[in-house]
Structure formats: C-alpha cells, structure tokens
Amino acid sequence: MLRKTEWQHCLQVFEEMFPDAHCELVHQNPFELLIATLLSAQATDVHVNKVTAELFQKYRTPEDYIRVSLEELENDIRSIGLYRNKAKNIRALCEMLITEYNGILPEDRDELTKFPGVGRKTANVVVSNAFGIPALAVDTHVERVSKRLGMCRWKDNVTQVEEKLMRWTPREEWTNTHHRMIFFGRYHCKAQNPNCPECPLLDLCREGKKRMRAK
C-alpha cells in the first residue's frame, strides 16, 4: 500500500502529465451537466457528447423533457446504453425539479442525490464542475487508478475509495485531482494495456510492477 508521502508524489505526477485536465462532457449550464453525467453511466464521454449535441438543442429546460412522451425521449437517446431507464429517470428528475425546487437545481450534493438516477458520483461531478464546490467524484477510472497504485485496497467499495482520497488529498485539490486521475486512467493507465513501461509512477505501482514481471 502507498504511504501518504508517496501519494503526494502521485498527485504531482498527475498534474505534470495532465495540467489541463477538465470535464469532457460538453454543457452550457448545471442542468445540462446533470443530464450529461446521468447519461454517461456505462457510456463514453465522446458518445454522450455526440448525443447531447442534438439533445440540448431540442431540450433546453426541465419542462421540455416532460412535454414529450417517454417514447420520444427514449428514441432521442436510444444509442446510449440503458436508454430506457435513463429516459425514465430524466423525466422523473425533471418533474421533481419543477415541483419541489421551482426548476432551480440545488447546489448541495445530498439534495442532488434525492433525484431519480442521481448517485453520489453524479452529484459530486455536478457540484464540483457546475458550482465550484470541492468534491472528488470516483468513476471507473479514478477507482482503477487508486487500486492499481495501492492507494486503496482491491476490496474497497467506491465510497471507501472516495473517503481515502479525500483524507489524503488537499481539499482545494479535490476537483482537479478528479479530472487528472480520469485523464491518467483514460489516456495512460487504461483498463486494457496500460502503458506501464513508460509510466513515471512504475516504481510505486504494485500493479505495474506485477505486469512488468509477467512480461
């Protein structure tokens, strides 16, 4: 397992490798980011952006989503995985937003998780990127990198990973660290064929050392 001082070194490397890491989901406002993040579950940001390029032209407000039939909304997001369940959640979310929040998206993470289809990760993405509130969302890339490096145990659940990352990472760096770890996992430490031979963290990485020995 990594020591805290080693984790600080990892944070420096993430920043050096991906100083411009950012949210790659295209959006113009907090509401669009919420919809895009909800759609991104088990889908790539690239594909979500292709869908939302047209979706956000047609649907600009919560009222727009509930004005059409469920079948029409399903058809508009059909190319995205789990589209039926996501369409149902989007409509329910919009109805709740209108009736209980006067159409104004709350800036509180716990409030956001009350919406259908919005889990802790999605809420963290929204509050950190749309409202500038420090948060460390744990997606598949962040979880994979944390466990490969030995920052967390393989058996840790997503909440345990998030809590450990927040304890060992300065609060003001939570959001940037989230983006940098995603870029590190998406473009360098990939799920398949991670670039271990050229990794500047190989000397600290338990998974990388194991893979290199296997070669």
- Provide the token pair at 203: 């000397």
The reply to whether 175 and 207 lie within a common domain is: yes
Tell whether 205 is in a known binding site.
Answer: yes
- For the chain, give the number of residues: 215
119 phi-psi bin (left φ>0, alpha ψ -120 to 50, beta other):
beta
HSE-CB at 130 with a 13 A cutoff on CA atoms is: 26
Tell whether 152 is in a known binding site.
Answer: no
Mark whether 190 is an active-site residue: no
Instruction: CATH number of the domain at 107, please.
Output: 1.10.340.30
Q: What is the pTM of this model?
A: 0.94
Q: In which domain, by residue range, is 59 found? A: 30-131
Amino acid at 184: F
DSSP single-letter state for residue 131: S
- Provide the token pair at 7: 């984790």
Q: Which residue is catalytic, options 58, 86, 114, 139?
A: 139
The reply to whether 164 and 198 lie within a common domain is: yes
Q: Which residue is catalytic, options 4, 20, 58, 121?
A: 121
Out of 100, 131, 162, a domain closes at 131
The pLDDT value given to residue 215: 76
Q: Could you give the CA distance from residue 90 to residue 34 in angstroms, rounded to a whole number? A: 10
Tell whether 199 is in a known binding site.
Answer: yes
The reply to whether 101 and 167 lie within a common domain is: no
Please list the pLDDT of the chain residue by residue as tens digits (215 residues): 999 999 999 999 999 999 999 999 999 999 999 999 999 999 999 999 999 999 999 999 999 999 999 999 999 999 999 999 999 999 999 999 999 999 999 999 999 999 999 999 999 999 999 999 999 999 999 999 999 999 999 999 999 999 999 999 999 999 999 999 999 999 999 999 999 999 999 999 999 999 999 97
The reply to whether 90 and 143 lie within a common domain is: no
Out of 70, 99, 131, a domain closes at 131
Mark whether 121 is an active-site residue: yes
Out of 85, 113, 131, a domain closes at 131
The reply to whether 85 and 160 lie within a common domain is: no
The reply to whether 114 and 89 lie within a common domain is: yes
Q: CA 208: distance to chain centroid?
A: 24
Tell whether 189 is in a known binding site.
Answer: yes
